[in-house]
Amino acid sequence: MKLPTCLRIVLILASMLLWWNLSWAQTHRAEREHTAQNLATLLNVGRLVVERNQTLINDPRKGDKGFTPEAFEHQVIEEFLRQTTIDLNRLPSDLPALAKTQLPLLLQSSKEVVADAQFVINQRGIGYKNFIPATFGSQAARKFSNRSHITIKQTALNPRNLKNTPDGYEEQVLNRLAAQPVSHAPVTEWIDDGKTLRTVTPIYYSQDCLVCHGDPKGTLDISGYLREGAREGDLAGAISIQIPANNP
């Protein structure tokens, strides 16, 4: 039986609309996943820059260290470009719109954390100042999250900072990551019937971390915390990001 022309047109239009909606939804999700990955990378780059400047920051002989927000920003932009090929000074036109607003916001939040720490960083006569990658990362993540509909958080199974205590989802993913070989790939999932993107990017202990987190287990480190007895390559924690699907 041949369908009337008008009915065939309606069915064709309905099929086209369904295809367009599915295509838009896939693109929408992919852009959010890409943005989450870049945000995690940017926060990790900030942590890396602080780590590279740790000897300078903790030098008790120097007053003005020259580790200004501008110096920090310059190093972050260079390293982020090296890792991602994205120039934060000239964001590419094909970058998702969400990333174009959120990457500069995280960079600005990170600079402000360094600005807030200038008095501590530039104190003469004091060595260890507790301005370390983990401290920087926690503060930058909170400052950013207070200004955005996106939530960034450093978390760990046994965090020293209780504000970094994992929620149920993060705890489940962290346990899974701790039980498997090292992988720097983020765990990415859409939960709540596709309403929320969750990404968890693992962080592993480097050799430098073991000064505070290694052996002898149970003894106090320089910051007054008990050492965990960790080994290089053990899971240290993760950068957790949540992005709602229905925000612009």
> In the predicted model, is pLDDT for residue 138 greater than 90?
yes
What single DSSP character describes residue 244? E
Give residue 223's pLDDT. 87
Please tell me the predicted confidence (pLDDT) of residue 23: 43
Q: What is the mean pLDDT of residues 120-147?
A: 96
How much is the pLDDT for 189? 96
User: What is the arithmetic mean of pLDDT over 2-6?
Assistant: 63
Beta pairing partners, 190: 197
Distance of CA 103 to the CA centre of its chain: 11
Token couple for 244: 């709602």
Does 216 sit behind a cis peptide bond, omega within 30 degrees of 0 on the bond before it? yes
Inform me whether the pLDDT recorded for 10 exceeds 60.
no
Single-letter residue type at 21: N
For the record, the structure tokens of 181 come out as 């070989």
Taking the C-alpha atoms of residue 152 and residue 207, their distance in angstroms, rounded to an integer, is 26
Pairing of strands 235-244, 187-191: unpaired
Q: What is the pLDDT of residue 208?
A: 87
Q: Whole-angstrom Cα distance, residue 53 to residue 231?
A: 23
In tens, the pLDDT along 51-81 reads: 999 999 999 999 999 999 999 999 999 999 9
pLDDT of 246:
81
Say which residues have a Cβ less than 8 Å from residue 104's Cβ, sequence separation at least 6: 88, 91
Does residue 8 have a pLDDT over 90? no
- Indicate if the pLDDT at residue 41 is higher than 80: yes
Q: pLDDT for 80-112, tens place per residue?
A: 999 999 999 999 999 999 999 999 999 999 999
CA–CA–CA angle 80, 137, 92 (5° rounding): 25
pLDDT band of 3, cuts 50, 70, 90: low
User: In percent, how much of the chain has pLDDT > 90?
Assistant: 83
Q: Does the model's pTM come out above 0.85?
A: yes
Report yes or no: 243 and 197 within 8 Å, Cβ to Cβ.
yes
